[in-house]
């Protein structure tokens, strides 16, 4: 990472730990990271693991930084934001939220208004450095701030910007929920293979390695996924039979329906969350 502004994390859970781990692996200095959460014993574990500075005082934590990452559950976000508002209105850091469903305007309102705000929709593979995150910046965010936040999330995977905040619902339905779609495919493939007599452990390893290998090929290849699929299908061969079965069974329509259902639920949840706070 080229720049090392001080970054504070409010919340020290799975996501904060994953991001901090990725940042340190890519050369970010532990001395430039602060973390706050209510449980001091848990914070001490974080301090020992990463060498970062910790405090149970969210205001103090926020005050240290040029970038503040809000990494708490959406349900406690309003209280956390209102508590640190007087501090951040004074220091005016870049605010970054990884909470699903809470809009930049809602968060900014709780923080007193007028702050640069980036919303990020990460996903669970971030926990193993293979995340895929969608990012949205409000109008107050400077180009240099976008570069900093992008480099933070690139340290745990891919990070791509969307221009319209509503598209974060589309990101949620794609990469946010997406890992579960592929886990379902793994489950179904494993079941089919074990039904055919392959040992469960063998079926799992072959299925996982096939998924990982296909993903790696798709990422590296100059061909699109359609061409890669056709490359595996020789006329009259086994793959052609399987792909025909998927197509005849309405696989594309089903994927589209599943995507739209997740998109719609993301919109609904955002409304529910906004109404509750
Ligand atoms: N996990 C994912 O894959 C994922 C994906 C996309 C988005 N997100 C979003 O990321 C955010 C964090 O998720 P997570 O999975 O990291 O949750 P988590 O593991 O439950 O972590 C939440 C953290 O917030 C702390 N906390 C609770 N109340 C607080 C307060 N008043 N002030 C400061 N810290 C407080 C908790 O402290 P204690 O441990 O002391 O209770 C905990 O360290 C959520 O908004 C979630 O929607 C997560």
Q: Of 195, 184, 198, whose CA–CA distance to 251 is shortest?
A: 184
Tens-place pLDDT, residues 224-273: 999 999 999 999 999 999 999 999 999 999 999 999 999 999 999 888 87
Residue whose CB lies within 8 A of the most ligand 1 atoms, among 73, 84, 133, for a mutation test:
73
Ligand 1 close to Cβ of residue 144 (< 6 A): no
User: How far apart are the CA of 20 and the centre of ligand 1, in A?
Assistant: 14
**Cα of 98 from ligand 1 centre, angstroms:** 9
State the sign of the Cα–Cα–Cα–Cα dihedral 8, 13, 15, 19: positive
DSSP-derived secondary structure letter, 174 = I
pTM of the model: 0.91
For range 16-21, the mean pLDDT: 93
Rounded Cα distance between 69 and 62, Å, is 9
DSSP structural state of residue 51:
-
Q: Helix count (H) and strand count (E) of the chain?
A: 12, 8
Tokens read off for 221:
């290849």
Under DSSP, the state recorded for 236 is T
Beta strand pairing status for 53-55 and 67-70? unpaired
Q: Is 100 in the pocket of ligand 1 (CB under 6 A)?
A: yes
Q: Note the pLDDT of residue 276.
A: 61
DSSP secondary structure string for all residues of 90-111? HH-PEEEE--SS--HHHHHHHT
pLDDT above 50: residue 2: no
Q: What is the Å distance from ligand 1's center to 13 Cα?
A: 5
Label residue 235 exposed, middle or buried (CB < 10 Å: 0-12, 13-18, 19+).
Answer: exposed
Ligand 1 near 10 CB (within 6 A): yes
All structural domains of the chain, each given as residue ranges with its CATH number in brackets, are 7-164 (3.40.50.720), 178-266 (1.10.3730.10)
Dihedral pair phi/psi, residue 134, rounded to 5°: -100, 140
How far apart CA 28 and CA 33 sit, in angstroms, is 9
CA-closest residue to ligand 1 atom 40: 39
Q: Could you give the 3-state DSSP secondary structure of residue 249?
A: coil
Please state the rounded mean pLDDT for residues 28-45: 97
pLDDT at residue 3 in the model? 56
Ligand 1 site, residue 58, Cβ cutoff 6 A: yes
> How far is residue 216's CA from residue 222's CA, in Å, rounded to a whole number?
12
214: number of CA atoms within 13 Å, CB side? 15
For ligand 1, the distance from its centroid to the CA atom of residue 179, given in whole angstroms, is: 19
């Amino acid at each position: 990472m080229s720049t090392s502004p001080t970054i504070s994390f409010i919340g020290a859970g799975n996501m904060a730990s994953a991001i901090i781990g990725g940042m340190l692996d890519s050369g970010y200095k532990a001395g430039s990271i602060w973390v706050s959460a209510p449980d001091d014993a848990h914070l001490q574990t974080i301090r020992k693991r990463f060498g970062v500075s910790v405090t149970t005082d969210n205001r103090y934590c926020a005050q240290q930084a040029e970038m503040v990452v809000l990494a708490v559950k959406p349900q406690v976000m309003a209280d956390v934001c209102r508590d640190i508002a007087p501090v951040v209105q004074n220091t005016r850091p870049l605010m970054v939220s990884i909470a699903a469903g809470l809009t930049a305007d809602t968060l900014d309102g709780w923080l007193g208004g007028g702050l640069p705000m980036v919303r990020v929709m990460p996903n669970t593979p971030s926990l193993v450095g293979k995340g895929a995150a969608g990012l949205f910046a409000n109008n107050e965010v400077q180009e240099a701030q976008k570069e900093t936040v992008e480099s933070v999330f690139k340290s745990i995977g891919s990070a791509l910007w969307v221009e319209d905040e509503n598209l974060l619902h589309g990101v949620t339905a794609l990469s946010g929920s997406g890992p579960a779609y592929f886990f379902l495919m793994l489950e179904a493939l494993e079941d089919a293979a074990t039904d055919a007599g392959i040992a469960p452990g063998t079926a799992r390893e072959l299925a996982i390695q096939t998924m990982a290998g296909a993903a790696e090929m798709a990422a590296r290849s100059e061909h699109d996924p359609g061409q890669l699929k056709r490359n595996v299908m020789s006329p009259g061969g086994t793959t052609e039979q399987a792909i025909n079965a998927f197509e005849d069974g309405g696989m594309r329509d089903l994927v589209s329906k599943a995507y739209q259902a997740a998109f719609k639920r993301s919109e609904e949840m955002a409304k529910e969350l906004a109404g509750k706070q």
